[in-house]
Chain A
Amino acid sequence: MLSLNYYLALSALIFAIGVMGVIIRRNLIIIMMSIELMLNAVNLAFVALARSHGSMDGQTIVVFVMAVAAAEAVVGLAIVITVFRQRQTLDPQEMQLLKG
């Protein structure tokens, strides 16, 4: 069995990729996918720790996270579609109404 650290390192790596995706990419759909990536990185950490500690708590939370992520994806994609209909673009740089 692999040591816990490998799982955690992988989780951190995926999370970092997610963060960078959210910050850098210029497409709202990709950004949403990056958010999913971050959520799943956290899920991986939860499951790995639950397994190593022999507790079911972490696994329970993961099920919750998945449910919430599904709901979030529904609402988020609905917003993305509405935004696209309004502005004909999905580039966040085009959405700067609050510029100071």
Chain B
Amino acid sequence: MESSAVMESSSLLRWILLVPLLGAVINMIFTSYRDRKTAGWLASIALAVSFGLSLWIWFGLSSGTVLNDTLFTWIESPPFKVKMSLLVDRLTLIMLLVITGVGLMIHIYSLGYMGKDEGGVRYFAYLNLFIFFMLLLVLADNLLLLFVGWEGVGLCSYLLIGFWYQDHTNTIAANKAFIVNRIGDVCFLLGLFLLFWELGLKGIWTLDFVELKSHVHLLSTGRITLITLLLFAGATGKSAQIPLFVWLPDAMQGPTPVSALIHAATMVTAGIYMTARLHFLFALAPATLAVIAVIGVLTALFAATIATAQNDIKRVLAYSTISQLGYMFLAVGVGAYSAAVFHLFTHAFFKACLFLSAGSVIHGLQGEQDMRKMGGLKSYFPKTYWTYLIAGLALSGAPLTAGFFSKDQILWQTFSHGSVLLWFVAWGTAGLTAFYMFRQFFMVFHGECKVNDHLRAHIHESPTVMTAPLMILALGSIVTGWLGLPEYLFGSAWDHWLEPVFGTQVNGHGGVLIEILLMLLTVGLAAGAIYLAYRAYSPPWVGGLPYRLALNKYYVDEVYDSLFVRPMTRLADWFAQIFDMAVVDRFVNGLAARVQASSFFWRRLQTGNVQHYLLYFLAGTLFVLGYYLF
């Protein structure tokens, strides 16, 4: 992306993209012939190839080099031209490794989790298709191609949330996700059009990232603010921020590995990726950045409070995901793109690990998701217990885990670049995070076992094909954090790695001492919150108004329902029952009746008497003759 970067062409890139697509297509064509096991292995191998290629590129990519692979020209309407072209810089490479690496773990885990499901082949086909679109999203070298991936992952998300479509609630959840995302997508598309149009007025017809970067300074700040706000509105849909976050908790109706892959590790981070990719544009709109920071921190707080009161094991994690995405947007908002992408990276590991561990528990309990019916499961799930603990610690920001370093970096950047108020809210949210995480942990694994006797006889730890990915991800939940050590330790390899993309990140002013002090404050708060969760893992304020508010998700769904959904359905009902009958039908039927009535009159001309016809014939001839003669 750096204009000085060397552009190198590499035809390897297309194979990263095409191999998962091939896997998806083969699985789709042979859905009814292929058995689940072959389909699963095929999908996993396809992804392993992509992962291998990404690693290969990672080893070979020298500093300041950008790889490019043009497949064909997609749209040509001179002077405007869109190529089907892929681009890999260091930001893309990180995303590639997350998508294919974490994706591979989740594919392998799915072999065990979905091994007995009837729709297994379809499942793996969708999963591969999702990977294809997600890779297209991050590999795209222009905004239009990115949008194709953006829509594609939305589609796959819809397909996988409603995977068990026989259950009506699942299809409703899938529709909700799709429709809410659509609202965001419309904003995104408007932003894209506006950017295209405004640049076009300056004589530059392009959507290519490299060209955009060198030309956006031509636009006025007001226009850029509008464009970036629209693009961010798109991101609030895909990345589940206020006000469009409502779909993500419902998306938990899908299979658990899907929640881990799509609704925690990859797709929901598309908004973060998009803002990071267009950071040169957002940097020109300080007002938008302020909005992003505020929305981000509010979402983080809001979702964290809801998470403290939920009783469904996956919903807690869903709200936690929303909260963590809020952190990432906070980082974007204060201009710390590198920290945002770092948190995205570490979050992918520990949140995927948490979801998969939760899936392991659900699997062992034959589909039970209510935490109030669990408890004391430590002895039944010896491996899952540890992976859950490690990932939970990472999410809570326990020292030396991945979440500790990435979250701390965000908090520090917020403190030094943003405002103390933002920092304070984010800091408080860190405490809530530790609390809800360990409330869940203690509810599930410690205390008295509340599983009924019938079920208890069948509890089993998951097979190795599921626990092995858990352990790898748990390992990742610790070591990935060491890539981005703070300045006062060894300095961040991460920031250095991303320098060609984002430029040099100015480290916060204020000195090392304050940074360490803030870090200690955060750790202290998290430790206190964990202790509180241990003491009373049903909160002491249960039953109070704040608790009921959080339990019922602040009634956001109900408010949206009465503000938007119900007026819409009522309007649609009115159109269907009243307007359609009284106006549309009456018009169409009336027209038909008139035609019929008039034809009753005119049919009399058709006497069947040949002499009458001849008379008309004569009259017509005389008329034409008269017309020409006089």
Q: Do A and B bind each other?
A: yes
A21 to chain B minimum Cβ distance, whole angstroms, is 11
Closest chain B residue to A24, Cβ basis = B611
Residues of B within 8 A of A22 (CB): 611, 614
Interface stretch of the complex, out of B363-371, B403-411, B600-608: B600-608
Interface residues of A in 75-100 (CB under 8 A from B): 92-93, 95-100
Residues of A within 8 A of B608 (CB): 95-100
Interchain CA distance A100-B613 in the complex, whole Å: 13
Answer whether residue B618 sits at the interface, using C-beta atoms and an 8 A cutoff.
yes
Cβ–Cβ contact B611 & A96, under 8 A: no
Cβ–Cβ contact A23 & B611, under 8 A: yes
Cβ–Cβ contact A99 & B606, under 8 A: yes
B597 to chain A minimum Cβ distance, whole angstroms, is 15
Interface residues of A in 8-43 (CB under 8 A from B): 19, 22-24
Answer whether residue B4 sits at the interface, using C-beta atoms and an 8 A cutoff.
no
B621 to chain A minimum Cβ distance, whole angstroms, is 10
Answer whether residue B77 sits at the interface, using C-beta atoms and an 8 A cutoff.
no
| CB 8 Å contact bits of B587-611 with A (1 = contact, 0 = none) | 0000000000000000111111111
Cβ–Cβ contact A93 & B615, under 8 A: no
Cβ–Cβ contact A100 & B605, under 8 A: yes
Cβ–Cβ contact B611 & A98, under 8 A: no
Query: Dominant SS at the B interface?
Result: helix
Given contacts A100-B603, A100-B604, contact A19 B618 (CB under 8 A): yes
Closest chain A residue to B612, Cβ basis = A23
Interchain CA distance A96-B613 in the complex, whole Å: 12
Interchain CA distance A99-B615 in the complex, whole Å: 16
Residues of B within 8 A of A98 (CB): 606, 608
Interchain CA distance A98-B232 in the complex, whole Å: 72
Cβ–Cβ contact B607 & A100, under 8 A: yes
B629 to chain A minimum Cβ distance, whole angstroms, is 14
Interchain CA distance A43-B513 in the complex, whole Å: 124
Interchain CA distance A99-B610 in the complex, whole Å: 10
| CB 8 Å contact bits of B22-61 with A (1 = contact, 0 = none) | 0000000000000000000000000000000000000000
A46 to chain B minimum Cβ distance, whole angstroms, is 19
Closest chain B residue to A22, Cβ basis = B614
Interchain CA distance A100-B606 in the complex, whole Å: 5
| CB 8 Å contact bits of B200-243 with A (1 = contact, 0 = none) | 00000000000000000000000000000000000000000000
Interchain CA distance A23-B609 in the complex, whole Å: 10
Cβ–Cβ contact B609 & A96, under 8 A: yes
Given contacts A19-B618, A23-B618, contact A92 B611 (CB under 8 A): yes
Cβ–Cβ contact B605 & A93, under 8 A: no
A96 to chain B minimum Cβ distance, whole angstroms, is 4
Given contacts A100-B603, A100-B604, contact A93 B614 (CB under 8 A): no
Closest chain B residue to A93, Cβ basis = B609
Cβ–Cβ contact B614 & A23, under 8 A: yes
Interchain CA distance A96-B607 in the complex, whole Å: 7
Residues of B within 8 A of A96 (CB): 607-609
Cβ–Cβ contact B615 & A23, under 8 A: yes
Residues of A within 8 A of B614 (CB): 22-23
Residues of B within 8 A of A100 (CB): 603-608
Residues of A within 8 A of B610 (CB): 92, 95
Closest chain B residue to A96, Cβ basis = B608
Interchain CA distance A22-B604 in the complex, whole Å: 22
Interchain CA distance A36-B114 in the complex, whole Å: 93
Closest chain B residue to A19, Cβ basis = B618
Interchain CA distance A1-B622 in the complex, whole Å: 32
Interchain CA distance A22-B618 in the complex, whole Å: 11
Cβ–Cβ contact B605 & A92, under 8 A: no
Residues of B within 8 A of A24 (CB): 611
A29 to chain B minimum Cβ distance, whole angstroms, is 14
Interchain CA distance A23-B608 in the complex, whole Å: 14
A38 to chain B minimum Cβ distance, whole angstroms, is 12
Interchain CA distance A56-B618 in the complex, whole Å: 31
A73 to chain B minimum Cβ distance, whole angstroms, is 18
Residues of A within 8 A of B606 (CB): 98-100
Interchain CA distance A97-B609 in the complex, whole Å: 8
Residues of A within 8 A of B618 (CB): 19, 23
Interface residues of B in 104-120 (CB under 8 A from A): none
Residues of B within 8 A of A23 (CB): 611, 614-615, 618
Interchain CA distance A93-B610 in the complex, whole Å: 8
Cβ–Cβ contact B607 & A99, under 8 A: yes
Interchain CA distance A98-B607 in the complex, whole Å: 7
Interchain CA distance A93-B609 in the complex, whole Å: 6
A41 to chain B minimum Cβ distance, whole angstroms, is 15
Residues of A within 8 A of B605 (CB): 100
Closest chain A residue to B604, Cβ basis = A100
Interchain CA distance A96-B606 in the complex, whole Å: 10
Interchain CA distance A98-B610 in the complex, whole Å: 10
A65 to chain B minimum Cβ distance, whole angstroms, is 20
Interface residues of B (CB under 8 A from A): 603-611, 614-615, 618
In addition to A99-B606, A100-B607, 4 A-B residue pairs with Cβ atoms within 8 Å of each other are: A22-B614, A92-B609, A95-B610, A100-B608
Pick 10 A–B contacts, CB within 8 A, sort by A: A22-B614, A23-B611, A23-B614, A92-B611, A97-B608, A98-B608, A99-B606, A99-B609, A100-B603, A100-B607
Give 5 closest A-B pairs by Cβ, nearest first: A100-B606, A99-B608, A96-B608, A98-B608, A100-B603
